[in-house]
Chain A
Amino acid sequence: MAVPNDRKYLKSHEWFKVEGRSVTIGITKFAADELTDITYVQLPAVGKRVTAGQSFGEVESVKATSELYSALDGTVTAVNTALADAPELVNQDAFERGWMIRIECDNLGPLEGLMDGPAYDRATG
């Protein structure tokens, strides 16, 4: 399974894709596979603040509950509402249709310390 190299990765398996000051966040295919069938994704509402290093939501699967972490401070500008009825999108297409939130950030600096695609691939291989 190819890990896209157009974004950055946390060790806790979240991905961060930058477009200007806007950053889209999701979890990796590896994480989704590990969790098994995802049944619910709890996400913050638009307008909420997320904080670097802190949990902004959680993913429920048949097997486990897992927290979602942000690498950045920011304000939520969009939430993938499709996940409310179809959380399985995260299993099916973790890097695209299974995205979770989009945030607006002032400081993208912390992303420099994150893994790129090949590094994440090696870390989870």
Chain B
Amino acid sequence: MQQTRLHAVHVELDGRMVDFAGWEMPLLYRGIVEEHVHTRTAASFFDVSHMGRIAFRGADAAAFLDRICTRRIGDMAVGVSRYGHVCRDDGGILDDVIISRDEDHHLMVCNASNREKLLGWFAERRSGAVEWEDRTLETAMLAVQGPSAIPILEQLLPLKLADLKRYHFRSISMLGQTAWFFRSGYTGEDGVEVIAPAQFAEIAARTLMERSQALGTPILPAGLGARDTLRLEAGMPLYGHELDESIDSISAGQGWAVDLTKDFIGAAAMRRVQEAGPRRKMIGMEIDGRRVARQGAEIRADGATIGVVTSGAPSPTLGRVIAMGFVDATRAEPGSRVEIDLRGSSVTATLCKLPFYKRGK
């Protein structure tokens, strides 16, 4: 199994290590709920070095990315990031990615589980003057998320972050080494995602913990467990749950991440879906009682199956069980009552809009 450059830190912090897409990653340190709450009320750091980081260079790099990504890439200014999908011809989602434009390259961050698949897929579709380099192993990636993330980081770094817009990034360089700070995240909180040379990861994490503690606002480690419950409350899709190759971006409720005014692989299929209207809709569910509906549970109404749960968990912030899933577009009205099948018995739930949680301004 692959280890990140923070492995020694995880072990020292008593992280419970699990296999995640071939990487040995911390599921939790002190407890999923505690880490979740600390992220919402203070700030946490997450080792997300397992995520893929691929740099694209060459005169035709932007054109190539425009062809393989659902969002427009060619018009991005330096310092801007964009979320989008990479899709098959039939619209099936191969991955969800963030592409950022730097001075001399475009950087794509993709899911760990899809990195190899994407690299193979790009190689088969290479055209023009474009080259890419898998930078996953030579860099590390840390997400610092929570209301105190930006104020603390600004005290520790020679870098302004408060004025950095969401989905923009800034870098600092020293002695030929560069670290990038992206105003983005996967928790529903403010914060940054940082990419730096791998050898800086450990000193960065240790300094962040020590100095934030000294400043009276500890930034503590959080694992994949809290990352999942945080993103679920924030209504964000997770590849392998809400997104996969069997569904196109429009049907997956991610039409905002698709630009049908340009051409890209999968665009024709998605135009057809858009014209006909998507058959399913992504919705939230508030579940009665304390039993948890998880991925694969059928959603029913009036005795008929109308959809399926894609993710579910007890929400630490709401104090109740929540879920995301897909239901027939005609049955997706928020407020509708449904039943969810749980291994023979069932629970009742109310359909609701996403997200479940939105941070205060």
Contact = CB atoms under 8 A, between A and B. Distances in A.
Given A62-B225, A62-B313, A37 B31 contact: yes
A36 B27 CA distance: 10
B290 A62 contact: no
Contact of B291 (A36, A60, A64): A60
B110 interface: no
A33 B229 CA distance: 18
Nearest to A34: B16
Nearest to A62: B32
Given A36-B225, A39-B314, A60 B31 contact: no
Interface string A30-54: 0001001101101000000000000
B40 interface: no
Most buried by A among B16, B32, B292, B313: B292
Interface string A61-81: 011110000000000000000
A39 B316 CA distance: 10
Contacts of A65: 291-292, 294
A63 B154 CA distance: 34
A63 B224 CA distance: 10
A4 to B, nearest CB: 23
Nearest to A58: B291
A63 B290 contact: no
Contacts of A63: 27, 32, 225
Interface string B207-238: 00000000000000000010001000000000
Contacts of A60: 290-292, 314
Contacts of B265: none
User: Which applies to chain B's interface (DSSP): helix, strand, loop or mixed?
Assistant: mixed
Interface residues of B, number: 15
Contact of A40 (B27, B33, B291, B294): B291
Interface in B271-302: 290-292, 294
Contact of B33 (A33, A37, A42, A58): A37
A60 B342 CA distance: 12
Contacts of B68: none
B308 interface: no
B229 A62 contact: yes
Nearest to B223: A36
Contacts of B294: 64-65
Contacts of A40: 290-292, 314
Given A62-B229, A62-B313, A63-B225, A37 B292 contact: no
B28 interface: yes
A59 to B, nearest CB: 10
A36 B290 contact: no
A47 to B, nearest CB: 20
Contacts of A64: 294
Contacts of B314: 39-40, 60, 62
Contacts of B291: 40, 42, 58, 60, 65
A69 to B, nearest CB: 14
A100 to B, nearest CB: 15
Interface string B116-146: 0000000000000000000000000000000
Nearest to B34: A37
Interface in B220-265: 225, 229
The CB with the most chain B CB atoms within 10 A, among A36, A37, A40, A62, is that of A62
Interface string B22-65: 00000110011100000000000000000000000000000000
Given A62-B229, A62-B313, A63-B225, A36 B292 contact: no
Most buried by B among A37, A40, A60, A64: A37
A42 B321 CA distance: 15
A60 B294 CA distance: 11
Interface in B184-227: 225
A64 B293 CA distance: 10
Given A36-B27, A62-B32, 12 more contacts: A36-B31, A39-B290, A39-B314, A40-B292, A60-B292, A60-B314, A62-B33, A62-B313, A62-B314, A62-B316, A63-B27, A65-B292
Interface of B: 16, 27-28, 31-33, 225, 229, 290-292, 294, 313-314, 316
15 contacts: A36-B32, A36-B225, A39-B290, A39-B292, A39-B314, A40-B290, A42-B291, A60-B292, A62-B32, A62-B225, A62-B313, A62-B314, A63-B27, A64-B294, A65-B294
